[in-house]
A = this chain, B = another copy of it.
Amino acid sequence: MSAQIIAIDAMGGDFGPRNIVQASIACLSATPSLHLTLVGQPSLLEPLVSGLAAADRARLQIVAASEVVEMDERPSQALRSKPDSSMRIALELVRDGKAQACVSAGNTGALMALSRFVLKTVPGIDRPAMVAAIPTQSGFCQLLDLGANVDCSAEHLYQFALMGSVAAQALGIQRPRVALLNIGTEDIKGNQQVKLAATLLQNARGINYVGFVEGDGLYRGEADVVVCDGFVGNILLKSSEGLATMISTRIEALFKRGVLARAVGVLAMPLLKRLKADLAPARHNGASFLGLQGIVIKSHGSAGVEGLQSAIQRALIEIEENLPGRLHSRLEDLLP
């Protein structure tokens, strides 16, 4: 395995650089071929890496960036008035071939806007989409878009389906079943965009389109890739997080009601914790931006060290699988 270089926006996220650096160091130890470039304010970053063993330190570079995109900043502002933000410099390292992927836990909207501006989309893709794996009865499904695109045309949904299919293949699924999220499975159901996207997908070569899937069908594992607009995807994802938290809170309360219950609650807790983690993928495993001429992974703003590590791992997989390259050649096959 040849060396991989990943640029890390060391200033993004709710907790500043400490968690990010810690996750970076853990990943360096775990993957000897990995090189990381931390982008941010050297005066803050240097002390955090000072204790590092020389062998690991040799694979860690710090690149200076004087500005930070705030978590509540408007994307347009980040784009126009912060040319030296850690987020932007990290993306420019990818654009310039100095890194093969960028990982950030910063402002999602700004990361999307800057990614599009700096890296551009793959020819044939109008808008990048945000995808993450969510757990189902039978494994995982790739859900997209998760909030990058609020209003989507049928053509956009079609492109998301295509990108999701390529991403699922890169993750090892042979002939991913691709579905459109809808409020019924009959042809007459849904809004115009979804109905029209269904027609596009029925006629698409090389996509294993399996039709509409409903909200419950998604969790039953009826598809490997589920496509929707970013408004719906974001609400599905966050309400699932909220519901999983609520259920787990109620079960915890149940297991505190008596000595026996308390004793056995211990059995259920690890499972619940794992479920909660699975159900907050953007927080725990990182979400990918698909459709860009480069790899960008978004970790949740409040991600802990483990979540940030997962995001870096996802970047590694996408580098190995050359996801943007795969998508590019797939689109060249499909487009006339």
Contact = CB atoms under 8 A, between A and B. Distances in A.
B246 A243 contact: no
Contact of A242 (B150, B192, B217, B234): B217
Interface string A206-239: 0000000011111110000000101110111111
Interface in A126-154: 135-137, 147, 150-151
B271 A137 contact: no
B271 A250 contact: yes
A260 interface: yes
A181 interface: yes
A218 to B, nearest CB: 6
A22 interface: no
Given A150-B183, A232-B232, A219 B239 contact: yes
Is the interface on chain A under 10, 10 to 19, 20 to 34, or 35 or more residues? 35 or more
Given A243-B243, A244-B243, A150 B190 contact: yes
A44 interface: no
Highest count of chain B CB atoms <10 Å: which of A216, A260, A263: A216
B243 A240 contact: yes
Contact of A215 (B181, B218, B237): B237
A301 to B, nearest CB: 12
A169 interface: no
Interface string A174-218: 000000010100101011100000000000000000000011111
B268 A181 contact: no
Given A136-B246, A191-B231, A215-B239, A147 B183 contact: yes
Contacts of A232: 231-232, 235
A3 interface: no
Contact of A234 (B183, B245, B263, B279): B183
Indicate how many identical chains form the complex.
2
Contacts of A260: 264, 267
A72 interface: yes
A65 B272 CA distance: 51
A170 B129 CA distance: 43
A63 B255 CA distance: 51
A56 interface: no
Contacts of A244: 243, 247
Contact of A183 (B214, B235, B249, B251): B235
A242 B216 contact: yes
A70 interface: no
A59 B136 CA distance: 48
B242 A271 contact: no
B254 A275 contact: no
21 contacts: A137-B246, A137-B249, A190-B231, A215-B240, A216-B239, A218-B239, A218-B242, A219-B243, A219-B245, A219-B246, A220-B245, A235-B235, A239-B239, A239-B240, A243-B244, A243-B279, A247-B275, A255-B268, A260-B267, A261-B264, A268-B268
